[in-house]
Structure 1
Amino acid sequence: MRWSADGLIAVTGASGRLGSRLAFRLAAEGAHQRLVLRERSRAPRLGDGRPLPECEVAVADGYEDAAGMRAAFEGARTVFLVSARESADRVALHTATIDAAVAAGVERLVYISFVGAAPDATFTFARDHWATEQHLRRSGLRWTVLRDNLYHQSLASFVGADDVIRGPAGDGRVASVAHDDVADVATAVLLDEDPRRHDGVTYDVTGPIALSLTQVAALLTLATGRQITYHDETLDEAYASRAGLGASDVELAGWVSSYTAIAAGELAHVSPDVSRLVGRPARSFEQWLDDYPFEWEHLLRGPGGGPSGSAR
Structure 2
Amino acid sequence: MRIAVTGATGKVGGEVARLLTIEADGEGRLRLIVRDAARAPREPGAEIAVADFSDAAACRAAFADVDALLLVSAGEAVDRIEQHRTAITAAAEAGVGHIVYTSFLGASPSAEFTLARDHGATEQLLRDSGVAWTFLRDSFYADVLLDFAGEERLIRGPAGVGRCAYVARADVAEVAARILRDPAPWAGRALDLTGPVAVTLGEAALLMTRARGAEYEYVDETLEEARASRAPYGAPDWQVDAWISTYTAIGSGELDVVSGDVELVLGRAPRTLEETVADPL
TM over 0.5: yes
User: How far off is 1:213 after superposition?
Assistant: 0.5
Equivalent residue for 1:129, pick from 109, 116, 119: 119
Match of 1:276 among 259, 264, 277: 264
Which amino acid is the alignment partner of residue 270 of structure 1?
A: V
Q: 1:160 to 1:9 in 2, by over 3 A?
A: closer
Write the distance in 2 (CA, Å) between the matches of 1:266 and 1:108. Answer: 29
Alignment correspondent of 1:44: 41
CA contact (8 A) 2:71 2:102 kept: yes
Tell me if structure 1 keeps the 8 A contact 2:175–2:265. yes
- The equivalent position to 1:87 in structure 2, one of 54, 71, 77, is 77
Question: 1:171-221 CA deviation, whole Å, 9 max, x = no partner?
Answer: 0111111111011111221112xx322111100011111111101111222
Is the aligned partner of 1:110 residue 2:104?
A: no
Whether the aligned pair in 1 keeps the contact of 2:3 and 2:68 (CA below 8 Å) is yes
1:34 has 2:28 as partner: no
Selected match of 1:57 from 48, 56, 59: 48
Contact 1:175 1:209 in 2 (8 A): yes
Aligned to 1:144: 134
The one-letter amino acid of 1:111's match is: Y
Query: Hey, what does 1:215 align to over in structure 2?
Result: 203
Matched, 1:182 2:172: yes
* Uncovered stretches (5+) of structure 1, i.e. residues with no partner: 1-6, 46-50, 296-312
Deviant stretches of 4+, over 6 Å? none
CA contact 1:169–1:263 (8 Å) conserved in 2 = yes
TM (normalized to structure 1)? 0.86
The 8 Å contact of residues 8 and 32 in structure 2, kept in 1 or not, is answered as: yes
In 1, Cα distance between equivalents of 2:138 and 2:236: 24
Are 1:66 and 2:94 counterparts? no
Matches within 5 A, 1:245-260: 245-260=233-248
Tell me the percent identity: 49
How far did 1:30 drift?
1.5
**Residue from 12, 17, 20 that aligns with 1:18:** 12
Aligned residues of 1:144 and 1:199 also touching (Cα < 8 A): yes
How far apart, in 2, do the equivalents of 1:186 and 1:163 lie? Answer: 31
Q: Which residue of 1 aligns with 2:231?
A: 243
Judge conservation of contact 1:44–1:52 (CA < 8 Å) in 2.
no
Once residues 201 and 224 of structure 1 are traced to their aligned partners in structure 2, the CA distance between those partners, rounded to angstroms, is 36
Query: Retained in 1: the 8 A contact 2:69–2:180?
Result: no
Name whichever of 22-31 and 86-95 sits farther off: 22-31
Q: 2-side partners of 1:134 and 1:81: how far apart? A: 14
Which amino acid counterpart does residue 41 of structure 1 have in structure 2? A
Deviations, residues 6-43 of structure 1 (Å, cap 9, x unaligned): x2111100111001110111111225111001122222
- Contact 2:211 2:275 (C-alpha < 8 Å) held by counterparts: no
- Gap regions ≥5 residues in structure 2: none
Range with bigger deviation, 35-44 or 139-148 = 35-44
Give, as a single letter, the amino acid of the residue that structure 1 aligns with 2:10.
G
Q: How many residues align?
A: 278
Deviation at 1:63, TM superposition (A): 1.1
Point out the more displaced range, 155-164 or 174-183.
155-164
Q: Using the TM superposition, give the Cα deviation of residue 224 of structure 1 relative to its aligned residue in structure 2, in angstroms.
A: 3.7
* Structure-2 separation of matches of 1:128 and 1:273: 22
State how far apart, in whole Å, the 2-side matches of 1:89 and 1:44 are: 27
TM-score of the superposed pair, with normalisation by structure 2: 0.95
Structure-2 separation of matches of 1:288 and 1:17: 14
Tell me, yes or no, if the aligned pair for 1:18 and 1:180 is still in contact at 8 Å. yes
Compute the RMSD of aligned alpha carbons.
Answer: 1.4
Q: Structure 1: how far apart are the matches of 2:166 and 2:65?
A: 35
* Counterpart residue identity of residue 147, structure 1: R
Q: 1:269 offset after TM fit, Å?
A: 0.5
Shift of 1:158: 1.4
Contact 1:24 1:52 in 2 (8 A): no
